[in-house]
Amino acid sequence: MTGEEAPTKRERFVRILRRIGIGLAVVTVVASPWWGRALLHRLDFFRVRRVEIDGARYVSPDEIVSRLRIDTTQSLFDDVGPLEKRVRQHPSVRDVHIERKLPGTLLVRITENPPVAFVQAASGLVPVDAAGRSLPVDPATADVDLPVLAVRDTLALRVLGEVRERAPALFARIGEVRRFPRGGSFYLLFHLTESPTNLAHDVLASGDVTADRLSDIIPVEQDLTRRNMKAVELDLRFRDQVIARLP
């Protein structure tokens, strides 16, 4: 055999015992009075040497690490509350929880505040969340495919946020949303892109439409496909009905 010899069973057993011993020592010290925790803070063995980010899709992990502002004196047993507060202030972060991994790793689990639409602006398309807040998401580097709105329509954004969460497959087909005046009232007009079984078409709905109600179009689309028919518009404005307007 070339290179290093494989560890013997005895060596592996000793390593396991050493790790168990370290773990028990840490638990004992943490469970001890205040002086035990103070001792851990002073040990170089428990300095933070690595940060892992979990849950980041649109926000850059580097931005999260930058907000932590961890230096070489940071102990794994320092209070993580201030660190979580800094990360939570990022506009793309809805919530954060930091865990400790011995001997020197912080695991930062974030729940993102996802973009739900692009809004047209003088500077170009701006990604926004369901509340209409601009998000620092770079379409050139992030995998972003979102509906487009001409303005920050809070009504449309609320619906898109719900659809994204409850019916992601349907959300992926929404290409554009706009207010649509008809019969003296305003409605929401969703332009759905083509799917494997349906051509592109519009969906007309009242302003209080929900994700579940919008999903009512799916069995209608399937039925039209079986009949070899295509709709140019599906109307959801009437209670418990989906009206298909054909070409």
Q: Tell which of 57, 82, 112 closes a domain.
A: 112
| Three-state DSSP state, 120 | strand
Q: pTM of this prediction?
A: 0.75
| Domain co-membership, 122 together with 95 | no
CATH classification of the domain holding 105 = 3.10.20.310
pLDDT band at 40 (very low <50, low <70, confident <90, very high): low
pLDDT band at 11 (very low <50, low <70, confident <90, very high): low
Q: What pLDDT is stored for residue 232 in this prediction?
A: 93
Confidence check: pLDDT of 168 > 50: yes
Q: What pLDDT is stored for residue 41 in this prediction?
A: 61
Q: How many CA atoms lie within 13 A of 230 on its CB side?
A: 11
Q: What pLDDT is stored for residue 139 in this prediction?
A: 72
| Domain co-membership, 83 together with 185 | no
| Domain co-membership, 150 together with 195 | yes
Domain that holds residue 138: 117-245
CATH classification of the domain holding 136 = 3.40.50
Encoding tokens for residue 226?
Answer: 């079986």
Least confident among 20-34, 79-93, 173-187? 20-34
| Domain co-membership, 136 together with 158 | yes
Average pLDDT value for the chain: 84
If one counts the domains in the chain, the total is: 2
| Domain co-membership, 230 together with 187 | yes
Q: What pLDDT is stored for residue 72 in this prediction?
A: 78
| Domain co-membership, 65 together with 124 | no
